[in-house]
Amino acid sequence: MSTAPTGLRAERRARLAAAMQAAGIDVLVVAGNPWRSDYLRYALDLAPSEGQVFALIERKGTARIFAEHPAEAARFHSEQPDLQVGWSVSPIEEVEREVRGLDPGRTALAPLAAVPYRLAAGPLRPTMAPATAMLDGLMLRKSLLEIGAFRRAAALADEGYAVFREAARVGRPEYALVADVEAFLRSRGCPENFQILGAGGREVRGMHPPTERCLAPGDLVTTELTPCVDGYYAQICRTLVVGAAGEAQQRAFAVYDEALVAGIAAVRPGATAGEVARAQNEIFRRHGLGDYVSSEYTRVRGHGLGLYVDGRPAVLEDVDLVLEPEMTLIVHPNTYHPEVGYFVHGDSVRVIDGGCEVLTRTPRRLFSVSAA
Amino acid sequence: MREAGLSAALLYTSFARPSAVAWLTHFVPYWNEGLLVVLPSGAPVLLAAFSRRMHGWIHSVCHVGEVQSVSHLGRAAADFLQQRVPGPSRIGVLELDALPWLVAEPLLNSRTTTLADATSLFAAIRQPVDDTEIRLAQRASAIAVKALDSIPRGARRASEVLSTIERSARLDGAEEVLPRLAPDLAADTTLRRLEGDLSLGERYAVELALAYKAAWIRVARCFSKETPRSWLDAQEWTSDWAARLNAGPPAGPPGEVAFWCIEACVGSQPLSVVASSGAARTDIPAGTLACLSLRLNLADGPWLSAVPVVIGGRVLV
């Protein structure tokens, strides 16, 4: 069950109601699923784990939920008895029927990332972009209660990484490392964790879900670990070596550490996400590694965090979203290094007046575990 | 596809809807999304929002032909179809109604392509399953049973149960672990996704859905310090039903049948409800890999169960 502080749920709902009023929306239809649950979580504190879920949220209070799975419907009703919850094998049809009875001028549909074709093709199509932008605006800048949850998630990410380091031993398959971390996180009441990893040498070009590959001496082991607390995800990225770090691995670490420091130094209100990316990329260019900050070798230099693991803004040089206080993101100059393979290094931060607060506290070191 | 006059079929995949593409190729996009294009001949083509550096990983874990990295799935699919299926064409889309709008819109704007819903077509070939899939489901079921067996008898906290399950299942190779828990059956039978922790009552229930090599099953079991006689009777009745499963519950249940449903993988969802106490049906094909979930109100309290079965004759746990 969701045990998010009641205040958090009520606060988000009040902010949403105010935004709906300002936008002239009486009913907001929100779509979600187990991957894109963030908008539903914000609007109603619902976290789907199976099937599609739709909510018809009236600005003045009531909400009706259409779930695809009976167990999910029962769970939502148990978590929040004030919601009107039903289930159907075709919830899209049910919602479509309901929408027909609403005033299209006072109803909106969101988010673009989760709305299905059949609903989008209907009369609410023109409302999707502005309604999504309205919700994005609410979700980008966190309240103090939201920051509190994010802070707890960051602390758990640190603890999770300590477990990961302990789990990394020669001969263990990648999935065993994740098993240890997930077991630890469940023991701490954390329901979800997004984690990918990589292990090996120069042949490793990215991270992926755990495979059956066993750790070997000399491996670089990368991970990004993203636990969820009260719905809010924080992330840490670190790299360790199985055995003593070689000279090339140490040299590589120094570049990534310098880039992370530069990226974090660039995070401040008024700066753009692009400037944060550029600050990191310039370090690589200065070290003759400019080729490796292109999309051929890396994805982003960080991204927003909150109710979604990979939120706005994407930290890329061409992204001009301006940072504001109480935005939360990870800065991570993760990319391929031609001498040692894929390398990750990143911390979760909160934008504050004049700069940012780094919330993950694991030392920025190239960790080493026994190769015995 | 030939019989339906389709020039190609499109199957969308994401973490939330992985199963159709996983069945055809064994690929699951996890944090990303993709579109599988199945042409009348040749290996399927995967359009994915991954960067090219991930192609090695993709080819190492699945059976696809060409992989194309694309920044916008819908536009890329429209372009791809224009090149590979020139001229007026009818394209089947699995679960067209549910296709994400951002993917669907560019396809709808194509002048030469007509989209047709291919949900029924896919469902008709998805079940019954073959022996390989049954063996994967058996392995998944064994992982789940072992995980439930590993719960300490004296467990007092939900977090203790969930941690134990997670470790056991993942160490045995489960790639997805989805537990729900009714922490105190005397108070509430709702299976919950827990955030935080709760004390366990004298009787509690755990439901565990998990995936092993993309084969999903669901198992549920009740726990108590002493196993009541009524639970053994309920288990026997349920096993008997599951072994002959092709319709609603048989006569003579040991209590009131409060709810039941049968789930199977017939599309992109790992498990979809195909029959339930609210909408019974009798036409589930023999050989369908399914999960039976039910709740009984026994004389001494509620009882929950879920078991994977092959319709028409085999219980997998």
Q: What whole-number distance in Å separates Cα of residue A209 and Cα of residue A345? A: 18
**DSSP E strands, chain B:** 8-14, 33-38, 45-48, 67-69, 89-93, 113-117, 176-182, 203-212, 215-224, 256-264, 272-276, 289-298, 301-310, 314-315
- All domains in chain B, ordered by first residue: 8-126 (3.40.350.10), 131-315 (3.90.230.10)
Label residues A33-45 b or e (16+ Cβ within 10 Å = b).
Answer: bbbbbbbbbbbbb
Q: In this predicted structure, what is the pLDDT of residue A74?
A: 96
Tell me if B100 sits within 8 A of A116, measured CB to CB: yes
From chain A, pick out residues whose CB is under 8 angstroms from the CB of B163.
183-184, 186-187
Kind of pairing between the strands at A107-110 and A27-32 = parallel
Tell me if A117 sits within 8 A of B96, measured CB to CB: yes
Q: What whole-number distance in Å separates Cα of residue B73 and Cα of residue B56? A: 20
Q: Do B100 and A116 touch (CB under 8 A)?
A: yes
pLDDT of residue A2 exceeding 60: no
- C-alpha distances (whole Å) from B47 to each of A202, A252, B26, B52, B100 are 26, 33, 15, 11, 15
- Residue B120: count other Cβ atoms within 10 Å of its Cβ: 10
Query: How many angstroms away from the CA of A353 is the closest CA of chain B?
Result: 32
Helices (H), chain A: 6-23, 38-44, 70-79, 91-100, 117-120, 128-140, 144-167, 174-187, 247-266, 273-286
Q: What whole-number distance in Å separates Cα of residue A7 and Cα of residue A366? A: 40
Q: In this predicted structure, what is the pLDDT of residue A4?
A: 57
Tell me if A71 sits within 8 A of B181, measured CB to CB: no
The strand pairing partners of B294, in sequence order, are B260, B305
SS (H, E, C) A74-141: HHHHHHCCCCEEEECCCHHHHHHHHHHCCCHHHEEEECCCCCEHHHHCCCCHHHHHHHHHHHHHHHHC
Q: Do A205 and B54 touch (CB under 8 A)?
A: yes
SS3 B181: strand
pLDDT of residue A141 exceeding 70: yes
For testing the chain A interface, which of B193, B281, B291, B304 should be mutated: the one with the most A CBs within 10 Å? B193
Q: In this predicted structure, what is the pLDDT of residue A262?
A: 98
Please, is B73 exposed, middle or buried when counting C-beta atoms within 10 Å of its C-beta (0-12, 13-18, 19+)?
buried
A·B CB contacts under 8 A? 171
Q: Which residues contact B36 (CB under 8 A, 6 or more apart)?
A: B10, B11, B13, B20, B21, B24, B25, B27, B44, B45, B46, B47, B64
From chain A, pick out residues whose CB is under 8 angstroms from the CB of B31.
194, 196, 309-310
Name the nearest CA neighbour of A130 among A15, A13, A22, A52. Answer: A22
Tell me if A304 sits within 8 A of A329, measured CB to CB: yes
Compare CB distances from B159 to A1, A112, A189 and report the shortest one's residue.
A189
Query: How many angstroms away from the CA of A344 is the closest CA of chain B?
Result: 15
Q: Do A295 and B159 touch (CB under 8 A)?
A: no
Q: Do B54 and A208 touch (CB under 8 A)?
A: yes
From chain A, pick out residues whose CB is under 8 angstroms from the CB of B104.
117, 120
Query: How many angstroms away from the CA of B213 is the closest CA of chain A?
Result: 11
Name the nearest CA neighbour of A157 among A368, A294, A367, A359. Answer: A359
**In chain A, % of residues over pLDDT 90:** 96
Q: Which residues contact A148 (CB under 8 A, 6 or more apart)?
A: none
Q: Is the interface score ipTM higher than 0.90?
A: yes
CA dihedral B47, B51, B53, B59 (to 10 degrees): -20
Please, is B257 exposed, middle or buried when counting C-beta atoms within 10 Å of its C-beta (0-12, 13-18, 19+)?
middle
**In chain A, % of residues over pLDDT 70:** 99
- All domains in chain A, ordered by first residue: 6-139 (3.40.350.10), 144-369 (3.90.230.10)
Q: In this predicted structure, what is the pLDDT of residue B109?
A: 86
From chain A, pick out residues whose CB is under 8 angstroms from the CB of B180.
49, 71, 75
Name the nearest CA neighbour of B267 among B123, B53, B60. Answer: B123
- Find the mean pLDDT for residues A255-267: 98
Q: What angle do CA A64, A65, A68 make, to 5 degrees?
A: 155
pLDDT tens per residue, range A236-250: 999 999 999 999 999
- C-alpha distances (whole Å) from A372 to each of A167, A215, A233, A272 are 13, 11, 35, 46
pLDDT band for position A5 (cuts 50, 70, 90): low
Q: In this predicted structure, what is the pLDDT of residue A366?
A: 98
- Find the mean pLDDT for residues A33-42: 97
pLDDT, greater one: A61 or A368:
A368
Q: Do B16 and A118 touch (CB under 8 A)?
A: no
Compare CB distances from B96 to A52, A117, A187 and report the shortest one's residue.
A117
pLDDT values of chain B reduced to their tens digit, one per residue, 317 residues? 999 999 999 999 999 999 999 999 999 999 899 999 999 999 999 999 888 889 989 999 999 999 999 989 999 999 999 999 988 899 999 999 999 999 999 998 887 889 999 999 999 999 999 999 999 999 999 999 999 999 999 999 999 999 999 999 999 999 999 999 999 999 999 999 999 999 999 999 999 999 999 999 999 999 999 999 999 999 999 999 998 887 678 888 999 999 999 999 999 999 999 999 987 676 788 999 999 999 999 999 999 999 999 998 778 88
pLDDT tens per residue, range A286-307: 999 999 999 889 999 999 999 9
Q: What whole-number distance in Å separates Cα of residue A104 and Cα of residue A107? A: 5
Length, in residues, of chain B: 317
Q: What is the DSSP letter of B86?
A: -
